[in-house]
Structure formats: structure tokens, C-alpha cells
Chain A
């Protein structure tokens, strides 16, 4: 399954490497990534491919990392975006 991960917060070093490490640890593959900073706010979007069985623990670990990084990480299934934004 595909999932979209968004990361928002104050820019600092090591955000992408930390998030990528969690993703790799759950055997998920990054399909697409875009990142920018807007007025010192770091904004990253990532599309990943992950086994459904690993998805719940991946989300939990990402939330734990979000607390460590003091950033907001949201994870939604690709189907949610397809349902809402594509006909």
C-alpha cells in the first residue's frame, strides 16, 4: 500500500535522515519526496510503499519521532487523498 507522510515544523538538521531511518526500519520504500522551507518552517511530503502489516507500527514510531523532533508528522493512506481529490 501507498501512504503520504507530511512533516512540518521548525527547520533543523537531520529531519530527513531521522524520518528515512524509521521508514527503512519498517521495510518501507520511498517513492517520491519533496521538501522546502517556508518562512523558516520545514515542510516535507513523502510518498512511501509499505506492507499493510507494518503500517500501524510505522505510524506509531513516526509519532514518537515527531515528539523527539518537536515537529508534526501526519500519515494518511493514499486512498484517502484519491477519494477526496481525484474523480
Chain B
């Protein structure tokens, strides 16, 4: 036999007992050729192109699932940031809402789970159209069901756009008035990647081609099983074992990416190596950290354990993939990870500790429920701090924060499905300061000037 019984059994266990799956197959689509000064022409072109390029994505994913036995959880589409291509056609908030609704309808007609790209790149400054675009986001989120929105707020080469940070805090609070699912479909970034397949931050970046298929793998359950298999191994040995598992998980992602590209007739894009948890027990990043040796996720030692995990995932995944991209690290979405949510409920995992963790993980403050009466200034401060960590460390950081209307600290917010549930985390509201009324930009770090 070409394969050993151990290899065959290991594969079976990963799929059937450790929740190994491909989280998403995401088709990126350029909308440059859809631009028009007529709203109806522009909207029709976007709708038609989504159908033409990605219309078969669901059937394709089902065929691959059937052929390889690999579960594919979501199919998604990411678009050119709509702020870049909508200035001619959309001259009011209502125009932008109509655009958002039509994109949402196109996604539903295709049968995908999410569409990303109601996005703008504001990391240095904002055009007049960008200002209108940001203003429209709360309404667009309310009037859609699967459309995701994101803003680039900061970059290591240009610094932090403080006005955009404040506007982001304001729009998150406005969107939260209609419920928690709007803010759950919005993310603000520092150093946003152009080829991210994960939501809510996916868009088809300015340097991308006509279209591409990106794949986001998953696999916390398989990594957890590996860590539990070596309860007494020294940490460098454990890191090596995690690397080997990450390699296997990522090779599956590459297999799916290549096959999806071939079947759809479009270019294979990137594989995102991220460990993406789900609310299912046994599919948690927090439980991995606890199995490495931290008593409760958030206790002292958690940042060190996360740095080991994140580094091992990257090293194992890099060799397994033809093109690595997206976020590629370990996600810490509180509501989507039952271990994280429990650690917040215990009061061990705090906002401050989560912020520290984001300096060594791939994303940022993700799916955190905060009290609905949080002030704009406090929320802007939390966002600004997160942007600074990304900008100075030349890494992606992001915020996906859900203000929970009429809820207080400790109350649970139930979002459903992959979004899970989380207790409202403790946030202290401080009086408004001059920080944001000053406006302007925080200049980039000296390490940005490498020419």
C-alpha cells in the first residue's frame, strides 16, 4: 500500500474528529471595468460581473467537497473596494445604499455566504467621495444581510488617519443601533492585505488581477489534538509538531485552491494559513493555548504561548503553499471561539490582555462585545491603540467590535452561526479628551523610511 495505516488513520481523525475543513473559498473580482457615471449602468454591470465570474462558485465547492471529502464551510466573493469605483455613479448616501443592496442581492442570487468590498482606503486621507461613503456604511449594513464592509485606517508607510479612526468609531455606534449583526460585518484595518479571503475584511485589492480564487484554511481542532498528544514535550519540540500539522492542513488548502481555480477557469490566488476557530467545542484557539500550558486563556504566559503557536503555524504553512497571503496567522475572535468567550466571562481575558495578544497574532480585536453605551471617544481610543500596534510593528491589525445595545458588562450577546456568542467585556468610559478633536494624522514610524 502506497500509504501507511498511520497516515490513513491520521487523515480520517482530522476530518471526522478534529473538525478539519476549508473555511472559505473566496473569488476576488475586479470591478474597474464596471465604472460608469450612471448609477443604474454601474449597478447592473457589477451585478452581471459577479454572476458571470462567480456564478458557479457554490456548485464548484460542492463538487470539490464530494470529490475530496474535504468540507468547505463558506463560499464568498470579494470585490474591488467599492469607494474606488463608485464616485461617478453614486453622489448621495441613498445611491450608495442602492449599490449595497444590489451587491447583496447578487450575492444571494449566487448563493454565497458573504460578499466583501464595501470598502474604502483611508489610511492617509479621504476624498469627498470617501466621506460620503463612510457616512453611508451604517445604513448599508442595516439594509443588507451578507454584504461586508471594511476601512483601511492606517498603514506603516503613511501612519494613522486619526479623523478616519474617529469616523469609524462613530459609524460602528450608529450601525449598532439596529442590532449587533451590522457591526459584526464591519472591520477597520491597519496594513490591510489586498488578498484576504476572510470576512469581514475581504476585498480585491488595487494590485490584483481580473479575478483570483483565494482559500482560507481552518484547523484549530487538528492543532489542538497535536498539542494534547505531547503534554510533556519541551516547547521547541512542541512548536515543531505544530509546524508539521500546519503543513498538512495548508497542503489541503492548496489542493482545494488549485482545483477550484481549474474548475472555475480563473487564477489561483493565495492560501491564507490562518487558524480560524468556530464556536464548536474542540475548534478553539483558546483551548490550544491552554493545552500548551496556560491555566486559562488570558492568564500570564498567554502572549508567549500565542507567539509560539502563531510562529509555528506560519513556518509550517509557508512551505505547504505556492502563494501565501491574506492574514495568515492565528485569529482571536472572542465570540467565535468558545474558549475565548468563557475566558472573558471568567474575567481572566480582558480588553487590555486582548490588545497585548494582538501584537503577536495575525489580526486584532476581533468579535468583542462592548457595552452599548460606550462613548465615541473611548471606542475611537481603542481603535487608535490597535492601529498603532499594527503601524509600528509593520503587521496587520484590525478591529471588529460589537457595541451591544442595552447590554451591560457580563451580559451575553448571541450572534448565531459562525459568529457565535460572547459576554460583554468590561470597558471604562473616560471623559472625552482633546486627542481626537485635534484631528490630523499620526506620522509613520521611522522604519517606514527605507529608501
Contacts and interface: CB of A to CB of B under 8 A. Distances in A.
A and B associate in one complex: yes
Nearest to A56: B66
Contact of A81 (B11, B16, B254): B11
A80 B7 CA distance: 11
A32 to B, nearest CB: 5
B123 interface: no
A49 B395 CA distance: 47
A73 to B, nearest CB: 11
Interface stretch (B67-75, B101-109, B273-281): B67-75
B446 interface: no
B67 A81 contact: no
Contacts of B252: 80, 83-84
B319 to A, nearest CB: 8
Contacts, number: 60
A45 B255 contact: no
Given A81-B3, A84-B251, A74 B12 contact: yes
Given A4-B8, A81-B11, A83-B252, A47 B68 contact: no
Interface of B: 1-3, 5, 7-12, 16, 66-70, 248, 251-252, 254-255
A59 B2 CA distance: 21
A32 B254 contact: no
Interface string A44-58: 010100001001100
Given A45-B1, A47-B1, A80-B255, A85 B69 contact: no
Contact of A34 (B1, B12, B67): B1
B11 A32 contact: no
A43 interface: yes
Nearest to B255: A83
Interface of A: 4, 6, 32, 34, 43, 45, 47, 52, 55-56, 59, 74-81, 83-85
Main secondary structure of the interface of B (DSSP, over half): helix
Nearest to B245: A84
Given A45-B5, A83-B251, A75 B11 contact: no
A57 to B, nearest CB: 11
A48 B11 CA distance: 18
Contacts of A85: 3, 7, 11, 248
Contact of B70 (A34, A52, A55, A80): A80
Nearest to B4: A85
B8 A77 contact: no
Nearest to B250: A83
A10 B14 CA distance: 23
Contacts of A45: 1, 3, 5, 8
A83 B254 CA distance: 8
Contacts of A59: 66
Given A32-B2, A47-B2, A80 B68 contact: yes
Contacts of A84: 7, 10-11, 248, 251-252
B405 to A, nearest CB: 46
A56 B62 CA distance: 12
A77 B1 contact: no
Contacts of A43: 5
B7 A77 contact: no
Nearest to A85: B7
A85 B395 CA distance: 32
A81 B68 contact: no
A68 B332 CA distance: 44
Contacts of B254: 83
A83 B247 CA distance: 9
A77 B67 contact: yes
Nearest to B68: A77
B3 A52 contact: no
Contacts of B68: 76-77, 79-80
Given A43-B5, A83-B255, A77 B69 contact: yes
Nearest to A79: B255
A80 B69 contact: yes
17 contacts: A32-B1, A34-B1, A43-B5, A47-B1, A74-B16, A76-B69, A77-B69, A80-B11, A80-B70, A81-B2, A81-B3, A81-B8, A83-B254, A84-B248, A85-B3, A85-B7, A85-B248
